[in-house]
Amino acid sequence: MEHIRMPKVNVLHSLVCNVVKHKASQSGYPLLIHCKNFQVIQFIFPQESDCHDVYISLSRLSRPEKYEELYCFSFNPNVGKAEREHSWDFLDLKAEYSRMGLPNKLWHVSPINREYRVCDTYPADLFVPKSVTLPVIVGSSKFRSRGRFPTLSYYCKENHATICRSSQPLSGFSARCLEDEQMLQAIMKSNPESRFMYVVDTRPKLNAMANRAAGKGYENEDNYCNIKFQFIGIENIHVMRNSQQKLIEVSALRSPSMGEFLTGLENSDWLRHIKSIMEAGLFISKAVAEEGVSVLVHCSDGWDRTAQVCSVASVLLDPYYRTLKGLMVLFEKDWVSFGHRFSHRCGHLIGEAKEVSPVIDQFLECIWQLMEQFPCAFEYNEKFLISIHNHIYSCHYGNFICNSQKERKDLYWRRLYNRFDRELHPRQSELDSLMTVKEETQQLEEELALYEQVICQIFA
């Protein structure tokens, strides 16, 4: 009998989207595994009991209840200490802002969010105009959804134009905030060559108007001097999730005709959504590069459509983001540090089905579309994009877990505390750790001596 050697396929549990048992066939009991990276794997089991056992195991293991169950917490790469330590400092956002020409006489790092007290979904270090005072920042944050006040994402040192980002204002039908108005004026004046700025709302106008009834909405041009408002019309996460599901169903058709496939693709509206995101990025990049005008971008909470649009605009504007290192820095800056909700959108933990949406998939497709049109403008190819996509969903590494920088830091310290007796983390100083242990040991010895004295007095 001839043995057929099948290629080895490694699939981490976090990559499993769902597991489906099918009716028994002549060859056995089939088990179908749908993966988040769009792989579909089928197993045929000779025994129904084996098929059921694997089904139960995969269903449980692919739906972790807490972060500590993710693979990145058990992954132990076979690399040396120096390489481990280097990996923590590989992406340095301070160096990235320095590359842009920051800080300078117009922009500086504000210390206001160092403890995440103003906005717990923003990074600790934020660039704001030098002319802005701390009370203005605090007032603006209170007027913005989730406290996500306007702050810098990209700076064009050639003409001082900027891309800033925030969440929607809590304006309702008539509310206003002087501090928020002052914040936008400061951003506009930090671009000396321009007399106005754009405010880009990435939502459909009807959606933004509906939010006004809930006390949110968008900026009133009568209250904000020298701004030009622009709606883009990118749909929300629920529409995008349904669109991708339709696309997956079309792709799963067996031997469809070209007409059937194209009809299904059109009905999914997937490419229409991609077009909307790219048009928004193009509008912003032209405003910055050709008009020399600063732009404030927001959606509802400022961590989905805002991240997509700012990132696409940055790739169009700056060739650095078309390099391998540059794209990684862009992810770290506009997605990881600015609080894209990776765990919710990618469904890393159980119980987040309504929050799952292909936000990151759409951004990667936008990059791929640009690569198809301008292949010589990019240092990387589609294999790099596929690799990033796999790592985001597989939780192989810890870069793309949690929903904010603060959550990742809290998880890091909690995890560190729970395993301090087994090993040191690469970021821990051995000397500091030893000194801490020494001090704690001395305190325990003093307490023990005190208890011994008390016991002696009791039995004396």
Tell me if residue 29 falls in helix, strand or coil: strand
N- to C-terminal Cα distance for the chain?
A: 87
pLDDT of residue 412: 74
Contact 69, 411 (CB under 8 A): no
Confidence of residue 75 (pLDDT cuts 50, 70, 90): confident
Contact 207, 217 (CB under 8 A): no
Q: What angle do CA 163, 385, 281 make, to 5 degrees?
A: 25
Residue 299 has pLDDT above 80, yes or no: yes
Q: Which of 289, 56, 298 is nearest to 162 (CA)?
A: 289
Confidence of residue 420 (pLDDT cuts 50, 70, 90): very low
Contact 54, 42 (CB under 8 A): no
The most confident of 59-68, 270-279, 444-453, by mean pLDDT: 270-279
Query: Tokens 């020409």 belong to which residue?
Result: 101
Mean local confidence (pLDDT), 304-333: 98
Q: Which of 375, 354, 363 is nearest to 276 (CA)?
A: 363
Tell me the angle at which helices 237-251 and 359-373 cross, rounded to the nearest 10 degrees. Answer: 60
Q: Using CA of residue 61, residue 65, residue 69, residue 70, what is the dihedral sign?
A: positive
| Residue 220 is assigned to a ligand binding site | no
| Residue 60 is assigned to a ligand binding site | no
pLDDT of residue 291: 97
| Residue 53 is assigned to a ligand binding site | no
| Residue 301 is assigned to a ligand binding site | yes
pLDDT tens-digit readout, 394-417: 999 889 999 999 999 888 766 555
Q: Which of 308, 282, 286, 310 is nearest to 296 (CA)?
A: 310
More confident site: 276 or 444? 276
Q: Which of 150, 158, 219 is nearest to 188 (CA)?
A: 150
| Residue 304 is assigned to a ligand binding site | yes
pLDDT of residue 202: 97
Structure tokens at 259: 């007409």
Measured between alpha carbons, how far is residue 5 from residues 2, 27, 32, 423, 435 in Å? 10, 19, 21, 40, 56
- CA–CA gap between residue 87 and residue 75 (Å, rounded): 15
pLDDT of residue 1: 40
Chain mean pLDDT for the chain: 91
Catalytic residue among 299, 310, 346, 395: 299
Confidence of residue 290 (pLDDT cuts 50, 70, 90): very high
Residue 239 has pLDDT above 50, yes or no: yes
pLDDT of residue 245: 96
pLDDT tens-digit readout, 143-192: 999 999 999 999 999 999 999 999 999 998 888 999 999 999 999 999 99
| Residue 305 is assigned to a ligand binding site | yes
Confidence of residue 433 (pLDDT cuts 50, 70, 90): low
Is 376 catalytic? The answer is no
Q: Which of 369, 344, 339, 366 is nearest to 355 (CA)?
A: 344
pLDDT of residue 10: 83
Tell me the angle at which helices 359-373 and 270-286 cross, rounded to the nearest 10 degrees. Answer: 70
Confidence of residue 386 (pLDDT cuts 50, 70, 90): very high
pLDDT of residue 430: 63
Structure tokens at 300: 């509802």
Confidence of residue 357 (pLDDT cuts 50, 70, 90): very high
Measured between alpha carbons, how far is residue 23 from residues 33, 157, 334 in Å? 15, 63, 46
Q: Which of 271, 259, 341, 272 is nearest to 306 (CA)?
A: 341
pLDDT tens-digit readout, 89-138: 778 899 999 999 999 999 999 999 999 999 999 999 999 999 999 999 99
Kindly report which listed range (254-258, 309-313, 385-389) carries the lowest average pLDDT score: 254-258
Mean local confidence (pLDDT), 202-223: 91
Domains of the chain: 13-63 (2.30.29.30), 92-245+271-414 (3.90.190.10)
Confidence of residue 353 (pLDDT cuts 50, 70, 90): confident
| Residue 418 is assigned to a ligand binding site | no
Cα maximum dimension of the chain? 97
- Count of Cβ atoms closer than 10 Å to residue 443 Cβ: 10
Among left, alpha and beta (phi > 0; psi -120 to 50; other), residue 194 is beta
